[in-house]
């Protein structure tokens, strides 16, 4: 129930979702109806006016039998989301959807824990200081060492190619998992320290720490408005996600929406950098 200050009464909302984003309190009101005919514009107008009076920011209307064209036009103009619930779960999976049954979602944050480099002792500039203040000359631009190392890690696509191994390592790594990736530079890049001394490493090793979140999407095959689809997701007080797939012209297409809170918080870690002794 929310208070209507104009009418000085409490008003009932079928489902109320409240959240705080960027220090702003947001209210989402969801109204559900089971009327036998498509919902008309006057009903959408009444929901909008009621929600305005009780301070709701986003209106969502769910109708068992859809909406009239005028209601759809009005809702689009006033940023009201319309949904129907004439869907039915199907127990027998279609062949093209079978591989989606066990789908999960993975979200991770990676952070640099350490960077080391190997240089030819006969070519290294005397007193060259390899630390986090080093700048790397890349494609005509000066790039901080930390960003250069992070870009190398991303380009390796280790997080995509070895996500199963990373997940196993995280579960057995005592709460502080990490991954080490080496890159051959072959003296192609100039590294400049804070005093302007320049050297060209033969190779570099990047050590990344990471924190991840894994959730099952509880996939289901449904018939939705006469079309076969696969949907799934989860919703709890901390985070939520939902996904939907369907077949269009022989190809699977899908959408995925994930709350930012699904990603683990970024730890505060100061990276280290060194040359091999």
Residue 11 pLDDT: 85
Confidence of residue 200 (pLDDT cuts 50, 70, 90): very high
Give tens-digit pLDDT for 100-121: 998 988 888 899 999 999 999 9
Banded pLDDT at 257 (limits 50, 70, 90): confident
Q: Where are the domains of the chain?
A: 2-85, 89-103+215-262, 108-212+267-274
| Residue range 183-190: mean pLDDT, rounded | 96
What angle, 0 to 180 degrees and rounded to 10, lies between the N-to-C axes of helices 69-77 and 41-53? 30
Query: For residue 21, what pLDDT is reported?
Result: 52
Residue pLDDT, tens place only, 143-153: 999 999 999 99
Q: Flag whether pLDDT at 275 surpasses 70.
A: no
Of 124, 107, 115, 187, the closest CA to residue 151 belongs to 115
CATH of 2-85, one of 3.40.1710.10, 3.40.190.80, 3.40.1350.10, 3.30.70.1140: 3.40.1350.10
Strands 87-89 and 198-199, bridge-based pairing:
unpaired
d(CA 254, CA 238): 24
What mean pLDDT value characterizes the chain? 85
**Digit-coded pLDDT (tens) for 10-41:** 888 888 877 665 556 778 888 888 888 899 99
Could you tell me the pLDDT band of residue 277, with boundaries at 50, 70 and 90? Answer: very low
Give the per-residue pLDDT at 227.
Answer: 78
């Amino acid at each position: 129930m929310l208070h209507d200050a104009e009418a000085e009464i409490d008003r009932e909302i079928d489902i109320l979702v409240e959240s705080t984003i960027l220090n702003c309190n947001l209210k989402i009101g969801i109204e559900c109806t089971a009327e036998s005919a498509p919902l008309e514009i006057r009903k959408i107008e009444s929901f909008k006016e009621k929600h305005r009076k009780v301070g709701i920011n986003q209106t969502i209307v769910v109708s068992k039998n859809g909406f009239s064209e005028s209601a759809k036009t009005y809702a689009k103009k006033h940023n009201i989301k319309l949904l129907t619930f004439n869907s039915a779960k199907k127990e027998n999976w279609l062949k093209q959807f079978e591989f989606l049954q066990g789908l999960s979602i993975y979200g991770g944050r990676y952070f640099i824990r350490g960077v080391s480099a190997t240089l030819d002792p006969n070519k290294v500039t005397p007193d060259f200081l390899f630390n986090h203040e080093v700048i790397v000359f890349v494609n005509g631009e000066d790039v901080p060492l930390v960003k250069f190392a992070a870009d190398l890690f991303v380009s390796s696509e280790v997080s995509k190619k070895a996500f199963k191994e990373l997940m196993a390592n995280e579960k057995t790594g005592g709460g502080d998992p990490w991954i080490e990736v080496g890159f051959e530079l072959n003296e192609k890049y100039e590294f400049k320290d804070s005093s302007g001394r320049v050297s060209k490493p033969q190779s570099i090793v990047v050590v990344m720490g990471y924190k991840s979140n894994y959730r099952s999407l509880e996939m289901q095959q449904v018939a939705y408005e006469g079309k076969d689809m696969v949907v799934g997701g989860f919703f709890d007080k901390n985070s939520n996600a939902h996904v939907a797939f369907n077949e269009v012209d022989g190809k699977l297409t899908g959408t995925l929406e994930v709350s930012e809170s699904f990603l683990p918080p970024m730890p505060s870690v100061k990276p280290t950098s060194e040359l091999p002794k």
